[in-house]
Each structure stands twice: as structure tokens, then as C-alpha cells.
Structure 1
């Protein structure tokens, strides 16, 4: 890989890893469901740059499952029940969940190595759950796992859309969260979303913009360009660095700490995810 492309893939990893600390900062000003709606409302003008990339059924499914479900659960957990660093790690359980669901829905065979990886990841999650305390609660763990499950189910939709421009798809799917999350916010978070947004601090606006524009538009643009130039097997493993960047950034920016038990459990989860990604058969779809 040329040095320029290596620098670009590391830039995306940095953007997606630091994204979790930006989410935590934005949640100081916004309730989680309203945050989801505002985050994707900012992206709506960008869809004018792309023609509709997929049928409306696929766009709505991605908008509900990945854009709304994943982030609705994730932001709800991060508001009070899980640190940014642990959230960045636990959310990656979407990888083994996707493999399990694909085996059930599409009858894709799970290799013994992948099963071992899934078992390892589950053991790590159980260890984090048993050690839950100041950094994560049982509710926080459950909410992040619900977000990971929403992402995994959304991946099954993406699995049926080979060759689709992912940036264009996610931008068009950003039409779904604003009205859906506004309605849920009015029902569960209070009747004053407009005044809440009007009272946001500069830190809140910078954080929301970073989450919306840098992690989504810039991140997916570069990631898609890299995947068009290099084999997926060369690019996708770099995603394993995202929770590492997330934990380090949360420690530096937010002052978050990780206990020894959480660190060990995190290594077990990463090992399990690595096995599930690299344990496929030679001809098995990634």
C-alpha cells in the first residue's frame, strides 16, 4: 500500500475512533434521541450530491436499523451508562452478530475458527458485564449490544446491495432519523426540542458537526475510495484499530480510565472479533 493510502486509512480510523468522544461531549448538551435526529438532519443537504442509490425499501431499512436503531441505542447508553471508550469496543460486537445472523438468514456456513471467535467475544462481553461498575452498567451494556444488533441486522440489508455506493446510501438514509427521532424525543425526552437545540453550547455544535460530517461524509468517502483501489482484505482489518483509538482518545480528552478487568476483557473481545473476521473459508463472502 502506498504511504499516501496508508495515511488515509489511518485518518479514517482516527476519525471513527475519536467519534465516540465527540458523541460523549455532544450528549452533555442534547438528549440522545434528539441528538440522533439532529446529527442526520445536518447530513440531509449532502444527499443532493448523489442520485438515489437503491430502492426506497432498502433506504428506509438502512435508515431505521443502522442510522436510527444503532445510534438511538448507542447514544442512550452513552448518556449515562457507558464510557465512550468501552462503547467504541462493545459496539464492534456487530461483527460476530452479523456472521451469526447471516448463517441463520442466508445459510452461510460458520467455520470452527469463527465459532471460536464468537465464543471468545461473548466471554469478553460477559466478563465486562460481571465487572460493570463506574465505567458501564448492566443497562449500558444491554443498550450498546442492542445498537450492535441493529447494525448487524442492517448489515444483512447491505448484503443484498452489492456494488451500491455506501456513502450515497447512508446519506439518503439520513432522511429517516430526523422525523422518527423527533417524534420519539417529543414522546420520551420532553416537549421542547427546539429550545434545547437553541441553547446548545459551541462545544455541542462542534461535536455534533464532527460526528455528522467528519465521521460520516469524510470517513465514508475516503473508506469507499480506498476499497475501490485495494482488496477489502487489505483495508477492512484496519477497522480493528477503531476501539483502540476510541479508548485512548477517551482517556486523553474525557479523562476516562479502564480497569484491569475491563482491559483484559477488551483484549478477549478484540481477539474474538479478529478470529471471526479472519476465520472465514477462502471463498466465503466477507
Structure 2
């Protein structure tokens, strides 16, 4: 079997870890062919493996007919969407950790993969290091899933835990998360939905033995698919009640009773890169 030739787009926080893993791997099933960066001057000390090339032109890498797999770690929607679209139009396999891209254009890109014989895989974009997409698609394929609920954002969960357990204000908890590299410099997308919660709400929840968590949930009702992302007060019997700090977890309720709670540390580099 021929080696899969890989084009790695992005050498930032996640990209660097993926690069290191690919270079250190002794698995002969793949070969790193291209590394695409925006600022080559920042990567002058990067030691590329034999045969790999560094470029700022994603088209050279993505449209190289010898490239089989494109790993997109650019972030954002603009260039990332152009590159992924091109890769799928050329029938290539795409791996992405880009939440924004999957959320805004996932259905469109999935159709391109189906039409042109490629593949779009985005396990790394969902719940950090938890392999929940494969679990649902393969492990639970025979079951009828009634509800999926999860704590999918380690940053927000860390902040909520700090407010609840340490009595910090929202601003103080956010600064602590940023100092520990659990939150971005611009944390807007991670904290929207919890930044308006009042200290009184946490005090009331604690008095009743509840914990406030930011839950993403989807469920079927009367043939309709419903979904919600919102702060929820959980009681101690809920399987996500004990999920604190930067940990993510997903719980699946299906017709066949089985333990389907999958926890994982979500922030930031290594679980996603893995």
C-alpha cells in the first residue's frame, strides 16, 4: 500500500503539535509532503522531514496531485474554507479541527466530499479529544438515539467551576483561565452565554445543591430535531454534574441501555492534536 501524502495547513498552537507527532511517528502509512504557513519568518528553525516543503501558498499544497490528505488547522472561515473546498473538489480526504468552519459550512462541505469522492472528517473540532462522532456513527449505529447532551467547551466549564468552587467573579475567573492558557486572548466565542450570569444565580444554585453548566443538547420530539446551547442548573444525579474544570464530557441517551458517558480533557493543544 502506498504511503498517504499529507499537506498540513497551519503551524500554530495545534498545528505545531500535529507536526511534531507526524515527524516523530514511525508509522510508514503516511508521509508529510507540505507544510503551509502564513509567516515563514517565524518558522525558520523548523526541521522538515525529507521530501517535505514549506510554503505560504496553500494552493501549491492542496492542489498537488500527489497529496492524498489535507489537515486544515488554519482557523477562521475565509482561507480555511477556500482551501478545504479546493481539497474536496479534488477528491481529497480532509481532516479539520476548525469549529467555525464545521458550524457554518459543514453541510455544504460534506456534500462536496460525497460528490467528488473525498472525505470530510472533523472529530478534532468536536469536544476536544473525545471521539464522539465515531462513537455515534459506528458504535451506536444500530441504536435509536433519543438525546445527546454535553459540556463541549472547556474554557467556559473552567470559568463556571472557578466561580462556583472558588467564589471568583466572572472577570477574575476569565483572567485566571487566560493566565493558565485555558482561554484565548479574545475569549468572546468561548464565554458568550455565560458572561451575563449573576453571582446571585450561583449562590442560589449552591444553596439548592445544584451546579450551573453550559450544556449543548439535541433531542428528537414528535419527529422534529431540537437543539439548545444554554446554562443549565444540574442536580447531583445528573451524569455531567461532576464534570468540572477544563474537562468536557458527552452523554448519550439511546434505546439500548449502556454507559455512554465519554469524558475528556479539552483545553487545548494535545487532545485536539491527538
Give the TM-score of the pair, scaled to structure 2: 0.25
More helix per residue: 1
Which structure would you say has the larger RCO, counting Cα contacts within 8 Å and 6 or more residues apart?
A: 1
- Pair member with larger Rg: 2
More strand per residue: 2
